[in-house]
A and B are shown apart, each in its own frame.
Chain A
Amino acid sequence: MKARSGHLGHIADPGQTDTTHGETLYVENVTVSFDGFKALDDVNLYLDDGELRCIIGPNGAGKTTLMDVITGKTRPDTGTVFFGSTLDLTAMREHEISRAGIGRKFQKPTVFTRHTVFANLELSSRGEKGVWSTLFASLSEEERGRIEAVAGTVGLRDRLHAAAGSLSHGEKQWLEIGMLLMQDPRVLLVDEPVAGMTRQEVEHTGELLTGLAGSHTVVVVEHDMEFVRRIARRVTVLHQGRVLAEGSMDHVQGNPRVVEVYLGT
């Protein structure tokens, strides 16, 4: 544990994630525009260490753009994104952000279809990722054990040697979550994890994500309101690139503006 309560201050190491002030991720005054269209307009978002946050909003609200900004795929025009109080994510490249401990699951299940489930997990595991270390890498027993454990967590223990391309849609989603777990990130950004899943798969995914919160900060972007109701503790509503409301599910659902633009029913 880095936090040393009782002291008046501490030394923040640049390059080290510092969450002693509670929040893990600070998104402040972020604006992104594409050809004049403001995908994000002065967005603020603070995530606590270990919380599970749902981000909802209609199509085009800027949810995916927000993920892109946090993971370095898109640079904001203005505003800052800090991981802990020392890592400026807007100045880092995708692989650096990933190594710093932010994992991302894409909207469309994105796995290496021609590799086996095992190889997918192996490639995602922590550790050296440079050219030479991968050229001469050999799999340790410990790593193999971790791969099997994670495969168990996401329910793919029996499919370890199947090509990822042969998995069902739901299994691919889980594999991708498993790949995130192999990275053991501090923050998991999960984009529409239950799209196209059967009810049973949705249930399993819900348990999986709520189980991860606490030891990880989990951010779920989702359209499926029933699913959000089931797992959400705090909800942020985005609309036209702005934060419309934030709070508990009940609080958000009671907000007349939210009802107007999104929840409707």
Chain B
Amino acid sequence: MHTRGQWLALAVVAALGLVVVPGLNAVPADSPLHLPNFLIPLFGKFLCFAIVALAMDLIWGYTGILSLGHGVFFALGGYAMGMYLMRSIGTEGVYASELPDFMVFLDWKELPWFWRGFDHFGFATFMALAVPGALAYVFGWFAFRSRIKGVYFAIITQAMTFAMMLLFFRNNTGFGGNNGLTDFKRILGFSLQEPSTRLGLYIATGIALLGTYLLCRFIIRSKLGRVLAAIRDEEGRVLFTGYDTLQHKLFVWTVSAVLCGLAGALYVPQVGIINPSEMVPSHSIEMAIWVAVGGRGTLIGAILGALLVNGAKSWFTVAAPETWLYVLGFLFIVVTLFLPGGIVSLWQRVRAPSTGNTNDTPAAQRSQP
């Protein structure tokens, strides 16, 4: 197979992202090659979305479970990191208090119990992964145990994200209400205003994306990955073959949520704010569109889709803001009707125009010895 070529391509892309971008940023500002500072967090944001898209592909593309609630897991990861960033403001807030500004504003006298420990970066990072994971595990256990599938599952995930959004909008929930958490000053002692900190966050996100890709690749190439694809194509058969599909679905669903949490945790220091609007149902739907546009069940497609759609979004929302939603809807319809395999399928068509349609997922090719 062309595995060696794939590794080479991966190395080239990783080098491009992790070396060339910082390199171009380092050339003098008067050079035409210079990459302006403000683009670094924007690129970092795109890489976060690419992690989300991979997580989405794992559960939707490979396992056939469409989630329209992944925004919740992303936001929860973001909130956990945001809480750490709030705590590291110290007494430099507007009210110069030990407590975060919004708590002073609400006339709270002491830190709520669930904020404890978030002074520590390690704890916050752990929670950024553990909380989305735990929520997904519990939610998934009930949903998969009741054999909820397909569009019904998608709808209850939408309901979940909507309910969580309403919960986080309340001031009394304790996460800053509709303003969310913002005005961050520093992370691990480094000022968030410094270009070097932003570059560091970008590189950390790039490494996280690479690690996520390798993890997803490992999962889908294992026998477990073949079980997942089998669940997607014929779950009844998998059950009667002796697999407790509940466990396999729950595993990949939880992994997917944890990866979203990771993306959210990397996202918040780069954009400087987290609020409940990250949980609006349409955000979660957009995540599914990234994967559909790029191509389901290919991993690479998910990354490409996230980068392309978000790149287009950034451009359109500046150039012609009111058209963006139409463009997105149009894109989704075009892909669904004419390019069900997403953008990557274009490349496959060019490469092997005569082969049939059965091998359009790596799953079909993998067990070749």
Contact = CB atoms under 8 A, between A and B. Distances in A.
Co-complex (A, B)? yes
Interface of A: 71, 73, 93-96, 98-99, 103-104, 106, 110-116, 118-119, 122-124, 129-131, 134-137, 144, 161, 163, 165-166, 179, 183
Interface stretch (B94-102, B115-123, B242-250, B288-296): B242-250
A94 B239 contact: yes
Contact of B226 (A96, A123, A136, A144): A123
A112 B237 CA distance: 8
B367 A131 contact: no
Interface of B: 219, 222-224, 226-227, 229-230, 233-234, 236-245, 247-248, 251, 356, 358-361, 363-369
B237 A135 contact: no
A131 B247 contact: yes
B244 A134 contact: no
12 contacts: A93-B244, A94-B240, A95-B242, A95-B243, A113-B234, A122-B367, A123-B226, A123-B230, A129-B244, A135-B222, A166-B356, A179-B237
Contacts of A136: 222
A129 B233 contact: no
Contacts of A98: 239-242
Given A112-B230, A114-B358, A165-B358, A123 B363 contact: no
Interface of B (DSSP majority class): helix
Contacts of B224: 131, 134-135, 137
Given A71-B240, A95-B244, A129-B244, 6 more contacts: A98-B241, A104-B240, A114-B363, A135-B224, A144-B369, A179-B237
A186 to B, nearest CB: 13
Given A116-B367, A123-B227, A137 B236 contact: no
B358 A166 contact: yes
A163 B222 contact: no
A115 to B, nearest CB: 6
A183 B359 contact: no
Contacts of A71: 240
Contacts of B227: 123, 134
A77 to B, nearest CB: 20
Contacts of B222: 134-137
A123 B224 CA distance: 9
A179 B368 contact: no
B328 to A, nearest CB: 29
A165 B360 CA distance: 12
Given A112-B237, A115-B364, A116-B367, A183 B223 contact: no
Nearest to B365: A116
A191 B367 CA distance: 29
A114 B237 CA distance: 14
Contact of A119 (B226, B251, B356): B226
A118 B251 CA distance: 25
B359 A113 contact: no
